[in-house]
Structure 1
Amino acid sequence: MNSTTPGASTNTTTPSTSPLDSAQIPLFSISVLFNLPTHSYIIWLIVKGTGGIASEYLNFNNSFCEICISMDFLIFILASYISSLFPLAMFLQGLTITGRPLFQCLMCVERYLAVVHPVTFLKYKPLRYRVIGCTVAWIITLGSCLICLIIFLFSTLTMQAYFFSVQFVLHLPIQLFCLVAVLRALKQSGPGERGRERDEKTHMKTRAFYLILITTVTMTITYVPSTITGIFTIVIDQPNSIVWIPSNLCFILAGFVQPVLYLHRAGKLSRLCTQ
């Protein structure tokens, strides 16, 4: 979706900055300025944390992927003036199209197993299963990066819209199913809960319920507008860069929610606000 600038949709050899570039550059700049330091701080917290990387391995990989996405946005900004950087930017676009939804999908599946199927979750909780899952995810993401580069070199924006729309359509139902199942499970009271224990569990469930609810809404805002715009581009078969601005805005702004939620859960958000 980042290739919707005129320079990215055509194989020009001279740098150019159009009004559309000027409209997208602030979005990419905000993402770089916010996501890059935030996710770097999250990785530092995970590495320095008492629980180690094992308990936050998926968050670690997701934050690393988000850092790479921020670098991709930075390269897109530079490519507006140095067109020779567009192939590299398009290669890294596979991280945005596949990496982010794939790692978020793994995190949703982990939450689903932890809440709905705790026995199965304990069975697959060891680090080796998470390493295997993340390794497969990185291999798929690398393949997506290669496909993005090939599409940029030999195809059109319509083919690119078809490529990522199919992936979003595949990932979003899995995420929504897991999140909705977790929401339903959290609304139910566990057996034998009485008095203070019930109140404490109710409070914890309420916090978890709103956390998952926010995540569900965020996933919808992130992927639905881009999917609809991609399908619209495929149907009319007339790529128009301007129609991608609203979906890009939703995709970038919704990406700020997950790091804020993690910092809030880690108890660092209030401290940063105070400082």
Structure 2
Amino acid sequence: MNNSTVNPTIDETSTNLTTFVFNEFDIVDFNILGFGFLFGLLTNTYVIWLILTGAGSGLASEFFILNLSVCGIFFSLFSLLRFFTKLFFKFPSLRLSASFFLGVAITGHPLFQCLICVERYLAVVHPVTFLKYKPLRYRVICCTVAWIITLGSCLICMYTLLIFTQYMYMWFLSVQFLLFLSIQLFCCVAVLIALKQSGPGERGREKVEENHMKRRAFYLILMTTVNTVITYAPLTVATLIFIVTQHLPLILWSVGSICFMLAGFLPPVLYLHRLGKVSCISICNILT
């Protein structure tokens, strides 16, 4: 009688531990989550410290990057909570907390990346408008609105978990990705067109310096867009397949989850490389 009352719990736990040991995707997922928490927390904290101590170009010009790094820390906390959620699946409070921070990961992070792209777009294509709204107070207003939107996304993610509407969550994820990608692609194409055009009266050194500034803005937007595609495209394709077929492709979803966790490291690494703190990434020389 005692065995019959105790064994179900032991069997269920051992089954999940067996899944963790022998399922390759689970092993990779646990490693990615652990790495994501440690590396993301360290790099984003370092970026915030550099900005606040004035090691970069100043707080006003890097205010969006500062907020993006704060989102990166929340992203790292999501990795930690998801790690514990997989280990202790019987605690609904962990799942609820992870779903809340998921809103920061799927909305806040790409939203601040979009703000950085729009800022670079205005600096190149509409410099007068950029100078008009360059003061810090306008960036604070934009970031406040962005955080309010992010908080709404966090609440929506929690709501979809509570009522178990996976279909609604899939639509929510897909629409956001397409919206953010459209904005970044527009900024990228607009800056590319401006790069190929010369303004009136541009000569010699002035033209070279302006073209260099445009190229830096273009590559920054391009790499941000590529980062967004790597982060969200596999998950979005998987969600669209689920919406159409009502069947979730587990392999694509697992690959997308890995990309989702790893691609979030690119913004802080690029910033650190630009300041000369990371010298081993030769692909980013175009930004310096």
TM-score, structure 2 length as denominator? 0.82
Contact in 2 for aligned 1:98/1:167 (Cα 8 Å): yes
2:43 match: 38
Deviations 1:192-248 (A, max 9, x none): 333344444444444444333333322222222222111111111133544311212
What are the equivalent positions in structure 2 for 1:86-101 lying under 5 Å apart? 86-101=95-110
Q: Distance in 2 between matches of 1:86 and 1:78?
A: 9
Contact in 1 for aligned 2:51/2:66 (Cα 8 Å): yes
Match of 2:223 among 214, 221, 224: 214
1:179 and 2:188 correspond: yes
Larger radius of gyration: 2
Superposed CA RMSD in Å reads 2.4
Give the CA deviation at 1:14: 6.9
Q: Distance in 1 between matches of 2:214 and 2:261?
A: 29
1:71 and 2:100 correspond: no
1:60 match: 66
What are the equivalent positions in structure 2 for 1:121-140 lying under 5 Å apart? 121-140=130-149
For the structure 1 residues 187 and 77, does the alpha-carbon distance in structure 2 shift closer, same or farther, using more than 3 Å as the test? Answer: same
Bigger Cα displacement from structure 2, 176-185 vs 57-66: 176-185
Contact in 2 for aligned 1:158/1:239 (Cα 8 Å): no
Identical pairs, percent:
56
Contact in 1 for aligned 2:122/2:129 (Cα 8 Å): yes
| Aligned partner letter, 2:61 | S
Bigger Cα displacement from structure 2, 198-207 vs 75-84: 198-207
Contact in 2 for aligned 1:14/1:82 (Cα 8 Å): no
2:32 match: 27
For the structure 1 residues 136 and 198, does the alpha-carbon distance in structure 2 shift closer, same or farther, using more than 3 Å as the test? Answer: closer
Contact in 2 for aligned 1:21/1:80 (Cα 8 Å): no
Give the CA deviation at 1:82: 2.0
Q: Distance in 2 between matches of 1:107 and 1:47?
A: 18
Give the CA deviation at 1:179: 1.8
For the structure 1 residues 126 and 69, does the alpha-carbon distance in structure 2 shift closer, same or farther, using more than 3 Å as the test? Answer: same
Q: Any unmatched runs of 5+ in structure 1?
A: 1-12
Q: Distance in 2 between matches of 1:90 and 1:97?
A: 11
Bigger Cα displacement from structure 2, 237-246 vs 196-205: 196-205
Q: Distance in 2 between matches of 1:271 and 1:169?
A: 33
How many residue pairs were aligned? 261
Contact in 1 for aligned 2:108/2:146 (Cα 8 Å): yes
Q: Distance in 1 between matches of 2:247 and 2:225?
A: 32
Match of 1:165 among 165, 170, 174: 174
Give the CA deviation at 1:96: 1.1
Q: Distance in 1 between matches of 2:135 and 2:247?
A: 49
Q: Distance in 1 between matches of 2:281 and 2:181?
A: 32
Deviations 1:147-167 (A, max 9, x none): 111111112433321111111
